[in-house]
A and B are shown apart, each in its own frame.
Chain A
Amino acid sequence: KAGVTQTPRYLIKTRGQQVTLSCSPISGHRSVSWYQQTPGQGLQFLFEYFSETQRNKGNFPGRFSGRQFSNSRSEMNVSTLELGDSALYLCASSWSSNGPGNTIYFGEGSWLTVV
């Protein structure tokens, strides 16, 4: 079955602009989480959505937001972009709520460059 799909794969934005990234989870998966990867900080959790509700949130400013649709697809939005937002944004999906050994599956990511 198809994996986690993220679009766009690469994009360049200017400081002050806003960006929307999209994620389609694996079919049947209802949880979608987002991570930011930068060389200096590694992978950092942004937020997680389940059944259209945000269940968990990381330590990021309010400029970072997200949502999930009824078909489990998710979008994340970053407003008022800063140079430091340049990163690889990874989406991950999983089929259910918590449980030991429940694995999350990552997409290939969206590379955002802010100039």
Chain B
Amino acid sequence: DQQVKQNSPSLSVQEGRISILNCDYTNSMFDYFLWYKKYPAEGPTFLISISSIKDKNEDGRFTVFLNKSAKHLSLHIVPSQPGDSAVYFCAARLSGGSNYKLTFGKGTLLTVNP
């Protein structure tokens, strides 16, 4: 049973436009959500996170939105740059759980075309 779902395996956008990556979850006990970015042959790197008590967190070009009632979060990248091309993983942590036992989605491959 996949508790964190990224239903789009891939996404292609033009440089300068907005990229929107989506993530859905099923477990209402998740209280903290993270996005990781992964380049080929490298480990995932932390991008941005959001606590369940918030509905938005912004860091530069990256904004994460959380809709708890819909159990949905999204990552917005504005403006998109070719260097943003990577696999993006959504991850969630259970309330009261360990920061290290994260449940990941299967990832979305973002391609930003020049």
Give the B-binding residues of A (Cβ under 8 A).
Answer: 4, 31, 33, 35, 41-45, 48, 55-56, 58, 90, 92, 94, 98-109
- Number of B residues with CB within 8 Å of any CB on chain A: 24
Q: Are B106 and A41 in contact (CB under 8 A)?
A: yes
Closest residue of B by beta carbon distance from A91: B43
Instruction: Point out the residues of chain A lying under 8 angstroms from B25, CB to CB.
Output: none
| Apart from A43-B102, A94-B100, A104-B102: 19 A-B pairs, beta carbons within 8 A | A4-B43, A42-B106, A42-B107, A43-B44, A43-B91, A43-B104, A45-B101, A45-B102, A45-B103, A48-B100, A48-B101, A56-B101, A94-B99, A100-B32, A100-B51, A104-B46, A106-B36, A106-B45, A107-B43
| Interface set, chain B 80-114, CB cutoff 8 A to A | 89, 91, 97-107
Give the A-binding residues of B (Cβ under 8 A).
Answer: 32, 34, 36, 41-46, 49, 51, 89, 91, 97-107
* Highest count of chain B CB atoms <10 Å: which of A4, A35, A58: A35
Q: In the complex, A103→B91 CA distance in Å?
A: 12
Q: In the complex, A91→B41 CA distance in Å?
A: 14
Instruction: Point out the residues of chain B lying under 8 angstroms from A35, CB to CB.
Output: 104
18 A-B pairs with C-beta separation under 8 A: A33-B100, A35-B104, A41-B106, A42-B89, A42-B107, A43-B104, A45-B100, A45-B102, A48-B98, A90-B44, A92-B100, A98-B98, A102-B99, A104-B99, A104-B100, A106-B36, A107-B43, A108-B43
Instruction: Point out the residues of chain B lying under 8 angstroms from A102, CB to CB.
Output: 99
